[in-house]
Amino acid sequence: MLSLNIVTELRTIFRNYWLAAITILLITVCLYAGWNGQNHVDRHQDSITSALEEMQEADDLMAAQLDSIERGLKIGLPTWQYPSSPTATGDRAPRVAAFPPGNLALISTGQSDMFNHYVKPTLTGDSFSIGFTELSSPVSLLMGNFDPAFVLVYLLPLIIISFCYNILSSEKEHGSLVLVASSPLSVRRWLLQKIAVRFVVLILLLTICLLLMLMMNGVMINAEALLMIIMVWLYAAFWFAMAYFINLRGKSSARNAITLLGLWVALVLAIPSLISQSASTFYPVPSRALLVNEMRTLQAELDKKQNEILDDYLRNHPELITRDADESTAYGWWQRYFASKELVSERMAPLLDNYDESLKQQQRWVNRLSFLSPAIVFRSSLDHMAQTSTAHYDNYRQSVLGFADEWRNFFLPMVFQDKPFTKAMIADLPAFHIEESGLKSPVPANATILLVMVAGLILASFAMSRAGKTEHLMQG
Amino acid sequence: MSVTMLRLLTKKELQEILRSGQLRIAGLIVLVLTVIAILVSAGYYQSVQQQHEQASNNERNVWESQDDKNPHSAAHYGTYAFKPKYPLSLIDQGVDKFVGISIFLEAHKRNEAQYMAAADQTGLARFGELTPDFILLFIIPLLIILMGHDSFTRERERGTLKLIKSQGVSLRLVSIAKWLGVFIPITVLTLFIFLLAGILLGTLGDFGELSWSDLLIMMGVYLVYYAIFTCITLISSSLSRTSGISLVSLLGFWIIGCLAIPKAATNIAEQQHPYPTKQAFDEAIALDKSKGLDGHDPWSEAAKKLEEETLKAYKVSSLEELPFNYDGYRMQKGEEHEAEIYFKHYHKLKDVHNAQTGIYRKLTSFSPYLPVRFLSMSLAHTDYGTHWHFSDAAENYRIELQKALNDDFAENSAYGNWAYKADKSLWADIPEFSYSPPELQDVIGQNTGNFAALAGWLIVAFAGLFISTKRL
C-alpha cells in the first residue's frame, strides 16, 4: 500500500504541469540570482586585486627610491615626501587591509553592498575616522538584491505553498478522499507519504539547481557548500511540515491557501521587521550627531593644551624619549601631533564603545527572538556561510583597527627617535590579516532550531489527528 | 435605477467583507501594526530631530567660540552641516537610513555624508522595518488581495454567478460594486493612517512645518496604488477557476511587483552603471588634484604659473607689491581649482545615479510599486534626489565659507604673514548654513515619469478589469 501510494503520487506529480513549471522557475531564478551574486562578488574581488597590484607597484617604486637615497642619489620628490622619512612612508605607502569574498559569497549579499572591502589605514589617520561604508546608491541598499538568499528565503516557501496547499483538500473537493479512506492506510499517513514524496522531488530538483548554480560560478563544492544545501533542505522541510499541518486541518483549498500565505507573510515579512524595529527601539544607538559634537569639543579642548599633552604622553611612553622635544623643529611638531592624537583616541574610545555595545545588545535581542521566524534563522545561517553577516564585517573592522595600531607602532619609534625608514625594512612592514577567532558560527544552533520546528510541526499534526480532530476530514 | 442598484450591490459586498471573521482579524492586525509603526516612527523622528537641532546649535557654538586665529586654520578646523528631517519622513523614511546624516565642511576637501543609520543596525534591518511606508507599500496591497481574490471565484464556486446573470443585472455594475466593496474599506483605512499622521505631525512641535498639500498628494498617490491593486485583484478573481489559484497568482504578482522587480532592478542598475568603490572615487580625485594647483604648495608647476600670471595681471614685479596677501589669494585659487575637481567627479557620480534612476524608471511599467515608492519618497523628502540636493547645498556653502576666510586672509594681511590672526568676530559674521528641500512643484516636475507610469497603470488596470469581467 505504501509503495502504491508513493508510485501514484509520483505519477500524479510527473503528469501534472506544476512540476514542469516549478522546474523551469527554479532553474531560471536560481541561475539568474547566482549570476547576480557572482557579478557582485567579482566586482569586489576585482577592486581588491587592483588595489593589491597598485600597492605592489608602489612598493617596487619605493624600494628603488630608497635604494637611490641610501646610495646618496637624488630622487624627484620634495624631501618631506622621501620614503626614508617614516612619517611619509607611514602615510604614503599604506597596506591594503582587504576583506576578500568567501567561497560562498555569491549566496547572500548580506551587508556586503553597504560596507567596503578594503581600507588603507595610515600613520596619521585616526582609527575612529576610517570609513567602512561603501559609496553605494542608497536606493540599491533600500531595494536589496536579487541574490540566491532572496530566492531561497522568500520565493522557495511560496513555491512550496503553491505545490502543497491543496493536496488533501483537492481530493476532498473532487470527492476522491472517500476512496482513500476506504483503503487500510490512515489519512494522516497517506498525506504524510504524499507530502514526503513532494518534498523529496522538490529537494532533488533544488539541490541540482543549487549545485549547477555553484559550479557554473566556479564555487568550490566543499563541506561548507554541502552544509549550506542541508540548511536549504531544513528550511524547505519547515514549509513542507507547515503545509502538512495545515492540510491535515481539513479546511478548503482556498482556506488553506489563505492560512499558508498568511503564515508566510507573518514569518518572512512581519515578524522579522517587528523584531528589527524592536531591537532599534529598545537598544537605540547613541546619536552620531551628538558624537560629532563631543569629538569637536574634545579637539577644541586639546588644541588649547598641546604642551601639557606632550608631557603626559612622554611620561607614559618613556621609551620614546631620546632627546628633548623641540617645538620649533618638525620633529617636535610630530611629537605633539601624535601625542594629541593618542589622547583624542583614548578619550573617544569609551564613546565609540557605546556604539559597539548597543549594536551587540541589538544583535543579542535579535538572536534571542530569532526562533520566532525560520526565515531569520535561515537567513542568518546563509549570511554567515557567505561571510557577509554583520558579525563578519564587525570582525573585519576590529581586525583593521588592530592593524592600524600595529602600523602606527611600527613607525612611531622611528618618528620619535628620528631614525630613517630603510629599504631593508620593507620586508618587515606589518601585513594585514583577519582575526577569525572572534567569529562563532550560528549554523549549528540555527539548524537545531529548524529541526525542532519541523519535528514540532509533525508531532503537533500527529497529536491533532490522534485527538480525533481529523475525523471531520471525511465529512462534507 | 442603476445608481440604486449599484448602491445595493456595493452594500452587499461591504457587508460580506465586514462580516468575514478572517478579514476582520486581518484588518485589525493591520490596524494595530499601523498604529505601532506610526507611534514608534514618531518617537524615533522626534528624538532624531532634536538631536540634529542640538548638534547643529552646538556645532555653531563651537565654530563661533574659536579664538583669534589664522582664517586658514579656521578653514581646516571646519564645521559640520547636519541634514534636517522633514515632517512627512514620519510616513516614509525612504533611503534616509542608508545615507549619512552630517557632512564635514573643511578646506580643500568635499566630504561624503557620514554615519548612515543602517551601519549601526543588525543585518536583520535589511529585511525591512515596521514603518508606516512598509505597511502602506507592502501590507495594504496584501490586505486588498485577501479581501478581493475570491470576489468572483466565490460566486462561481457557490454557483451564484449564474443566478446573478439570470437576474439581468449588468455584470459591469456587479464589477464596479465589487471594486467599491474592496476599495471603500481600504480608503477608510488609508484616511485613518494619514489623519493620524497629520494629527501627530500637527501636535508634535519638533517636526517642523507640515504641508497639508504634500500630505494630501501623498495620500492620493497611495489611493491610486490601491485602486490599481484592487483592479488587478478583481481581474485575477474573474479569470481564475478557483479562489486558491486566484490567491496564489495574486501573491505571485505581488512578490514579483513589490520584491522581485525592484531587486532585479538594483542588480541591472549596478551591472550596467556601477558605482565606483569609495577608494577608486577618492583616488581619482586625489590624482586630479595632484595635477593642479595646491594652495599649500607654492613650488608646484601650477603654483609657479599662477604666480607669473598674477604678477603680470597686476603689473608688479614681486608678490610683496601686490595689494593683497598672495598666500590667501593662492589659497583661494587652489580652493577654486579643487572645487572644480570635486564638481567634475561628483557630476560623474550624479550621471551614474541618473542612469541608475533611468533603469528603475524603465521598469515602472512592470511594477506599480516602483513609481509609488519613488513618488512617496520624493514627497517625504527622503529620496536620494533630496540627499543630492542637500549635499550640493552643503558644498556650495563650503565654497562660500572658504572664500570668505581666504578673502579675509588675503585682504587683511601682508604676503608671508602666516602669523596673521583674524579677530574672532569673523566667525560669527559668516552666516550659518541653512537648507531648504526642493519645493513641491520641483518635486512634481522631477517625477513626471513616475506620475505618468502610475496613470498608465491605473488606465491599464481599469481597462483590464473592464475586459475581463465582460467575458465572465
- Rg of the Cα trace of chain A? 30
What's the confidence (pLDDT) of residue A5?
78
Question: Residues of B with CB below 8 A from A371's CB?
Answer: none
Which pLDDT tens digit goes with each residue over B413-459?
888 777 888 888 999 999 999 999 999 999 999 999 999 999 999 99
Extract the C-alpha cell encoding A79: 624631501
- The answer to whether B125 contacts chain A (CB < 8 Å) is yes
Which pLDDT tens digit goes with each residue over A7-18?
887 887 777 777
What's the confidence (pLDDT) of residue B292?
79
**Closest approach of chain B CAs to the CA of A324, in angstroms?**
25
Q: Note the pTM of the prediction, 2 decimals.
A: 0.90
Indicate the burial class of A76 (C-beta count within 10 angstroms; 0-12, 13-18, 19 or more). exposed
What's the confidence (pLDDT) of residue B122?
86
Question: Residues of B with CB below 8 A from A154's CB?
Answer: 255, 259
Helix or strand or coil: residue B66? coil
- The answer to whether A114 contacts chain B (CB < 8 Å) is yes
Q: Count Cβ–Cβ pairs < 8 Å, chain A vs chain B.
A: 239
- Least confident stretch, A132-146, A293-307, B18-32: A293-307
Question: Residues of A with CB below 8 A from B94's CB?
Answer: 142
For helices A223-248 and A167-174, the axis angle rounded to 10 degrees is 30
Question: Residues of B with CB below 8 A from A257's CB?
Answer: 243-244, 247-248
What's the confidence (pLDDT) of residue A476?
42
What's the confidence (pLDDT) of residue B305?
86
When mean pLDDT is compared over A142-156, A252-266, A337-351, the highest value belongs to A142-156
Mean residue pLDDT across chain B: 89
Of the candidates A152, A145, A150, the one whose C-alpha atom is nearest the C-alpha of residue A209 is: A152
Which pLDDT tens digit goes with each residue over A381-437?
999 999 999 999 999 999 999 999 999 999 988 887 888 999 999 999 999 999 877
Q: Given an 8 Å threshold on Cβ–Cβ distance, is B95 in contact with A141?
A: yes
What's the confidence (pLDDT) of residue A475?
53
User: Taking CA atoms, what residue in A is nearest to B36?
Assistant: A274
What are the two backbone dihedrals, phi and then psi, of residue B110, each rounded to the nearest 5 degrees?
-95, 120
Mean residue pLDDT across chain A: 87
Q: Is residue B326 pLDDT above 80, yes or no?
A: yes
What's the whole-number mean pLDDT along residues B180-205? 90
Question: Residue by residue, what is the 3-state secondary structure of A298-341?
Answer: HHHHHHHCHHHHHHHHHHHCHHHCCCCCCCCCHHHHHHHHHHHH
- Least confident stretch, A311-320, A449-458, B7-16, B289-298: A311-320
| B positions 335-354 inside 8 Å of A (CB) | 349, 353
Structural domain spans, chain A? 1-267+374-476
Which pLDDT tens digit goes with each residue over A169-202?
877 777 777 777 777 777 788 888 889 999 999 9
Which pLDDT tens digit goes with each residue over A279-310?
988 998 888 888 888 888 887 777 777 666 66
Query: How many Cβ atoms sit within 10 Å of the Cβ of residue B396?
Result: 12
What's the confidence (pLDDT) of residue B418?
76
What's the whole-number mean pLDDT along residues A348-377? 89
Q: Given an 8 Å threshold on Cβ–Cβ distance, is A279 in contact with B274?
A: no
Query: Are the CB atoms for B55 and A293 separated by under 8 Å?
Result: yes
Q: Is residue B277 pLDDT above 50, yes or no?
A: yes
Report the distance separating Cα B422 and Cα B70, nearest Å: 6
What's the confidence (pLDDT) of residue A408?
92
What's the confidence (pLDDT) of residue B76?
86
* Reported ipTM: 0.92
* Owner of C-alpha cell 493536496: A167
Structural domain spans, chain B? 2-470
- Least confident stretch, A10-19, A234-243, A368-377, B448-457: A10-19
Higher pLDDT, A311 or B292: B292
What's the confidence (pLDDT) of residue B46?
83
Sheet holding B79-82, edge to edge: B79-82, B102-106, B109-110
CA angle A216, A219, A220 (to 5 degrees): 125
Listed in sequence order, the residues at least 6 apart from B372 whose beta carbon sits closer than 8 Å to its beta carbon are B137, B221, B222, B224, B225, B454
**Closest approach of chain B CAs to the CA of A114, in angstroms?**
8
CA of A417: how far to CAs of A274, A340, B428, in Å? 57, 18, 43
Extract the C-alpha cell encoding B216: 494630501
Listed in sequence order, the residues at least 6 apart from A102 whose beta carbon sits closer than 8 Å to its beta carbon are A385, A386, A387, A388
Which residue from A133, A134, A144 is facing B126, i.e. has the nearest CB?
Answer: A144
- The answer to whether B81 contacts chain A (CB < 8 Å) is no
What's the confidence (pLDDT) of residue B358?
94
What's the confidence (pLDDT) of residue B194?
94
B69 - beta bridge partners? B422
Which residue from B62, B129, B260 is facing A273, i.e. has the nearest CB?
Answer: B129
Of the candidates B272, B301, B253, B271, the one whose C-alpha atom is nearest the C-alpha of residue B457 is: B253
Helix or strand or coil: residue B82? strand
- The answer to whether B101 contacts chain A (CB < 8 Å) is yes
* Owner of C-alpha cell 486541518: A249
Which pLDDT tens digit goes with each residue over B76-131?
888 999 998 888 999 999 999 999 889 999 988 898 888 888 888 888 888 888 89
Which residue from A116, A158, A390 is facing B123, i.e. has the nearest CB?
Answer: A390
Q: What is the DSSP string of A228-285?
A: HHHHHHHHHHHHHHHHHHHHHTT--HHHHHHHHHHHHIIIIIIHHHHHHHHHHHHSPP
Which pLDDT tens digit goes with each residue over B140-165?
999 999 999 999 998 888 888 788 77
Indicate the burial class of A424 (C-beta count within 10 angstroms; 0-12, 13-18, 19 or more). exposed
What's the confidence (pLDDT) of residue A322?
53
What's the whole-number mean pLDDT along residues A140-146? 94
Report the distance separating Cα B59 and Cα B71, nearest Å: 18
Higher pLDDT, B427 or A333: B427
Report the distance separating Cα A54 and Cα A68, nearest Å: 21
Query: Are the CB atoms for A85 and A425 separated by under 8 Å?
Result: no
What's the confidence (pLDDT) of residue A325?
47
- The answer to whether B4 contacts chain A (CB < 8 Å) is no
What's the confidence (pLDDT) of residue A258?
86
Question: Residues of B with CB below 8 A from A139's CB?
Answer: 95, 266, 356-357, 360, 384
What's the whole-number mean pLDDT along residues B209-230? 93
**Closest approach of chain B CAs to the CA of A453, in angstroms?**
20
Q: Is residue B69 pLDDT above 60, yes or no?
A: yes
Q: Is residue A470 pLDDT above 60, yes or no?
A: no
Residue A315 confidence class, pLDDT cut points 50, 70, 90: low
